[in-house]
Amino acid sequence: MRSLVLTAIGDDRPGLVELLSTTISDQGGNWLESSMAQLAGKFAGILRVDVPAASAEALIAALGELDALKVTVTLAGEAGAPDSARNLHLTVVGHDRVGIVREVSQVLARYAVNVAELNTATSSAPMSGEILFHARASLQADRDLDAAALQRDLEALSNDLIVDITLDEVVSI
């Protein structure tokens, strides 16, 4: 079995997920996990599929022949985070401006914190109509992370950017 990560992009229209899923299943592929969205009139998605090794090249060729989507295929790496990982949840909310993601991600990188998932959006503030930036991230770090120091650096950044930043540890049951 081969595990593949696919990225797909194309002009958004009904039927793209069906086209992608039919192409995958016609080659014996199994759709395992995905994240998809409509962004600026485009359909954008990333997904992981398992396919029998003997069918992998045929699936890659079939995906390359799709007119409605540009699909990039990459061999999947090792799955899952190490057992020693700490899971964290980060939220950022504030007036939108250039550089918020860059500055937050620089702090995370200094502490070797991995961004496992990041979702961002903008919206109008209820009273003023100004544009608000929202981010939610799932993070992973080593067990020996100095969370207090990370929190202090994020709070300092929060003051500089004039945004609210919240960092919480995710407790597994």
Does residue 71 sit within a domain? Answer: yes
Boundary residue ending a domain (50, 75, 100):
75
Boundary residue ending a domain (49, 75, 101):
75
* Share of the chain residues as helix, strand and coil, in percent rounded to the nearest 5: 30, 45, 25
Number of domains in the chain: 2
Q: Are 136 and 91 in contact (CB under 8 A)?
A: yes
Does residue 80 sit within a domain? Answer: no
Mean pLDDT of 139-168: 93
Boundary residue ending a domain (14, 41, 75):
75
Residue with tokens 């049951």: 173
Kindly report, residue by residue over 50-107, the tens digit of the pLDDT.
999 999 999 999 999 999 999 999 999 865 555 558 999 999 999 999 999 999 999 9
Residues 61, 126, single domain; the answer is no
The residues near 119 (Cβ < 8 Å, ≥ 6 apart) are 135, 136, 137
DSSP, collapsed to helix, strand or coil, labels residue 118 as strand
Residues 111, 40, single domain; the answer is no
Residue 82's pLDDT is 54
The residues near 108 (Cβ < 8 Å, ≥ 6 apart) are 115, 139, 150
DSSP, collapsed to helix, strand or coil, labels residue 113 as coil
Residues 46, 99, single domain; the answer is no
